[in-house]
Every structure is written in structure tokens, then in C-alpha cells.
Amino acid sequence: MGLSFAVKDNIDALGLPTTAACPAFSHRPPAHSAVVKNLLDAGATLLGKTNLDQFACGLNGTRSPYGAVPNAINSLYVSGGSSAGSAYVVATGQVDFSLGTDTAGSGRVPAGLNNIVGLKPSKGLISTRGVLPAAQSVDCVSIFARTVALAAKALEAAMGYDPFDPYSRNLALKTTAFGAKFSFGVPDTLEFFGDNAAQAAFAQSIERLQQLGGTAVTIAYAPLAQAAALLYESALVAERYAAIRPFFDAHEDQVIEPVRSIIAKGRDYSAADLFAAQTQLQAYGQQAAAMWQAIDVLLVPTAPTHYTLAHMQADPVRLNRNLGQYTNFVNLLDYAAISVPSSIRPDGLPFGITLIGPCASDWQLADLGQRYHHATGLPQGALGLPLPPPVPIARLAQATETPPTLRLAVVGAHLSGMPLNRQLTERGAKLLEVTTTAPHYRLFALPDTTPAKPGLKRTDDQGVAIALEVWEMPLAHVGSFLALIPSPLGLGQVELADKSWVTGFICEGHALERAKDVSAHGGWRAYVVTLACSSP
């Protein structure tokens, strides 16, 4: 395998203590966990263990006596949890991939908040033998990586039926991709807790998924939200107490707050209460199942907002609950999920989306997740490196012989006949249409660029329509194309004359300070002609 990895410190690794972020619980396991052994046997190298919310109880990464884990992009903000350290070491490039665990979103929220991929497999696909559970019947070992392809590679090595794990399953994963056309669900009610930047980022993600061939379908979110509430607000919480009952009864004072109160709450329920909660969960699951008749995949924000470390520590229970707005129901209802980066908000913080599918849809989700991630043009984690070219997802047959593509709007040196057009044609791109932007843009001639290049800026007033071309490029070549785009140019979303949106070139604002406004020419080609005419 030739890759390095780290593991969350509730996963056993021979020779290293397992603490679950509780010093009094620390012990040295007699053997590797099943998942660590599988990865080592595949040739991966274990570099160490990572910090977490104590006993995997939290979604924010601050509930540890070993210290809070900061966000990899902005250290004033939380990393997300409970697999906080596992996300951080991947985002900062310390390992190739890492293992977390996921009960209520711990393998997804840290991915969304740190601009990396979080793959939460179907329950039972990866053995949890040798993993200290948070709630054993719904726990999953999750995988963090900077690309979907690497996460999928790690999954292929880590997975496998384990007869010694009571919840392991020999699942037959679906092996047909969703295809060029698919339908995706969008909740009928969305909550961002006043975070307008997150709300705008999610709206952009819907548009991008539509550009990849998806049709949005509104789904009823109520049964999913009601199922999610049972995780902490019913007798289901007793499973957290059961997971560490002997230790907790003897060392309750060694468990930090609010973890102690959450686990202790599990003592308050009877067996009858648990059966009632399980029956209610089944009822919500039946109601939610109807949505799969209309959609292939469900789209949700990975997390609805970001919180600073200071805000989280001042209000740890309520804000932690908010981070799980779109995650808690997934394992309870036996779904698979993958969180992928979606955008960098205007405030510099990452925004991630999660694609959710029925049990055994893992490869399908990975394939669509890779298509989506590469269409964003985002860098890897906190490293600033471009994404490598996408690769076929393991064991997955494509639903169509037509490779996935990305529609790309160009306004300058990549136009037909212009100096950089060959960068498109060499990658098999085809011209789809000649049109203009919506009348909300200004075009600037950037100084000191060779060949000469423009910068496009959206403006709320005094905008005009700018001539452009829309090209279609095979998604497999988008990564190498992005590597050729110099700063201050980058890819973003551009509104066309027909009010649709497409990926296109945008320019960093600081670069326009010395640039010449050439909007009056209506496009770069017309402006270049005037330069030629004025040359001696």
C-alpha cells in the first residue's frame, strides 16, 4: 500500500496505549485492532495515535484533558470531533490517511470543518473488534483522507467480514455508479443557526451537483430529524453507558464534563424504555425510507456552521448539538455517507457537504463524491496543493461509457484561437456554446501577465454582460488543468445569460487594484482586437 496513517486513540494498536482521552482509562492492548492489522498487512505504516473528544463523546474536539484540537485552516476555530486529531493530521499533511470512528457524525464533521474527505462506511463493513465503542450497535470505523480516491483505497484494505465482531456483516456492495444523470434529495427544512455564509455555500453546492447531472428533489426531513433526536434524548443513550460501564462506575470522577453527565444519563432508563425507543426508531426509519423511491442520494451540509474554540467552551452542550444537525440519523438508520470539501467561504473557513446513500452504496457514494470534489477546484486540506487527477473507484463499474465531464466557462486567453486554448483541446475539451455572462460582471486586463489575461469580477451594480465560451472537459483531466492556472486566477461559479451557473475563471480582488477595466468592449477578444489595431 505504501501509505502512512494514524489512528484515533480509541482504536487499539499494539505497543501504544489506548486512552480514549481519559488518563485513568489508559491501558496497553494485547493486540492490534482488526482494522489496524488489515491495514498493516496491506503495507501501510502506522505513525501514531490522535487526540479525540473523551470516550468519543462529542462533535467539536475540545473535550479532552490533553487539550483542544484546533481547526487546521484557522486555529481559532474548532476542528470538529470526536475524531478531531485524526482529521487534523490529515489536513496538515502529517499522514496520508487516518482512522476515526463515527457514531453520530464523528467521521464527517471534522472532515467538513477541515477541507478533507471523511468516508463513513456502511455499518459492519469495517470490523470494530479492538475499537472502544461509543455505542457499539451503530459505531463505524471511518476514514479521513485528502482525496476520495485515497480514502477508497484505504477502505478497500481495511474492510472485511470479521466473525469475532458481533456487528460485522458480509455486505455485497453495489457496483454500478449513479451515472451521468441522477437524482439527489435536499431537505425541505434547513437550519444554519444564523450562518449566512454556510447557507450560501450550501446553495452553491446544490447548483454544482446539478451541473454534474443531478436533479434536485425536495424530501421531508422531519423523520430524519426525529430519528436523530433519539440518539441523546431517549433510552438509546444507555448504550454509551454500557460501553464503559465497569470503568465508569468505578471512576466516574475521572471523566470530564460534559462527557460525564451524558454517559451517566444512560443509567436512568429501563429495559422497557430501550425497547420503546428502538421501536420508535424503526417507525421513523420506515417513514424516511420512502425518500429512496425518488432519489439516488441525499445531499446535506456536513456541518451547519463553524464555532470558535472560545464560543464552544462557553456553551459546550448546545453548540455541540448544533454541529450534529445533519449527521446523527445516518448510523441509526443504517445509511452510508461521505463528506467531501465543497468550498472556501468568504471568511476563509471550509464548507463541506455530505452525500448519503442506503446501506452498501459505499462505492457509488465515493464515485460521485470524487466527481464533486474535483469539480470544486479546491486545494488539498490545509496544504494548498492541487488535487491529483481522479482515478476509478475500486470495484465500481461505470453506468455509462461516457466519462464524467465538467462544464467550464472561459473569458480570456483560453477562448477559441487564443494562446492558451490548446490547454483545453489537449485535454479533450469540446466547445459547447458561445454566450455571455449575466449582466452583473466587470472585465479587467491584468497587468504583467504573459500571455495577457483578464480578470472577471461580479458586481452588484454597473455590471455588463461579458462574452464567453462554455467548454466541456473530461473530469479526469480537470486536475492537471487546474495545476496550470496561475494566481490570482482560480475557478469559481459564474452566472450565464440564461441565469444558469457554471464553473469558470474568477480573480482575487487584490489583483484588480492595478488592472484596467475593459468591460466596455464586451469581452476579451474584442479588447485584444483594439490592442492589435493600435499597435504601430
Tell me the average pLDDT of the chain: 92
pLDDT at 400 (0 to 100): 46
Q: Is the distance from CB of 467 to CB of 496 less than 8 angstroms?
A: no
**Mean pLDDT for the stretch of residues 139-146:** 98
State if pTM tops 0.95. Answer: no
Residue-wise pLDDT for 216-243, tens only, equals 999 999 999 999 999 888 999 999 999 9
What does the CA dihedral 168, 169, 173, 178 come to, rounded to 10 degrees?
-70
Q: Quick: pLDDT tens for 70-100.
A: 999 999 999 999 999 999 999 999 999 999 9
Q: Could you name the CATH architecture of 4-376?
A: Alpha-Beta Complex (3.90)
The pLDDT of residue 244 is: 94
Residues serving a catalytic function are: 8, 82, 106
The pLDDT confidence band at residue 533, using thresholds 50, 70 and 90, is: low
Chain region(s) in the chain for CATH 3.90.1300.10: 4-376
What pLDDT score does 275 carry?
Answer: 96
- Tens-place pLDDT, residues 156-181: 999 999 999 999 999 999 988 888 89
Q: Where are the alpha helices (DSSP H) in 343-390?
A: 362-376
- What's the pLDDT at 349? 97
Tell me what the mean pLDDT of segment 367-378 comes to.
94
CATH 3.10.490.10 domain range(s) in the chain = 405-534
Is 139 strand, coil or helix?
coil
| 488: preceding bond cis by omega (within 30 degrees) | yes
What is the pLDDT at residue 536?
A: 47
Average pLDDT of 258-278? 94
Q: Mind listing the pLDDT tens digit for each residue in 311-325?
A: 999 999 999 999 999
Give the tens place of pLDDT for each residue, 294-308: 999 999 999 999 999
User: Using CA atoms, how far apart are residues 84 and 93, in angstroms rounded to an integer?
Assistant: 15
pLDDT digits (tens, 9 = 90+) for 347-368: 999 999 999 999 999 999 999 9
Three-state secondary structure call for residue 100: strand
Identity of the residue numbered 461: D
pLDDT tens digit string along 33-83? 999 999 999 999 999 999 999 999 999 999 999 999 999 999 999 999 999
Band (pLDDT 50/70/90 cuts) for residue 291 is: very high
C-alpha to C-alpha distance for 160 and 451, rounded to whole angstroms = 53
State the pLDDT at residue 397.
Answer: 64
Answer whether 115's CB lies under 8 Å from 72's CB: yes
Task: Provide the 8-state DSSP code for 393.
Answer: P
Cell of 227: 430519528
Say what the pLDDT of residue 325 is. 95
Residue 335 main-chain phi, psi, to 5 deg: -105, 160
E strand or H helix at 517, and its extent?
Answer: strand 516-517
Asked if residue 399 has pLDDT above 60, the reply is no
In the predicted model, is pLDDT for residue 154 greater than 50? yes
**Cis ω before 82 (30° cut-off from 0):** yes
405-534 — its CATH code?
3.10.490.10
Cell of 12: 487499539
Asked if the peptide bond before residue 258 counts as cis, ω within 30 degrees of 0, the response is yes
Segment 484-510, tens digit of pLDDT: 887 777 778 889 998 888 888 888 777
416-444: average pLDDT: 90
What pLDDT is recorded for position 532? 61
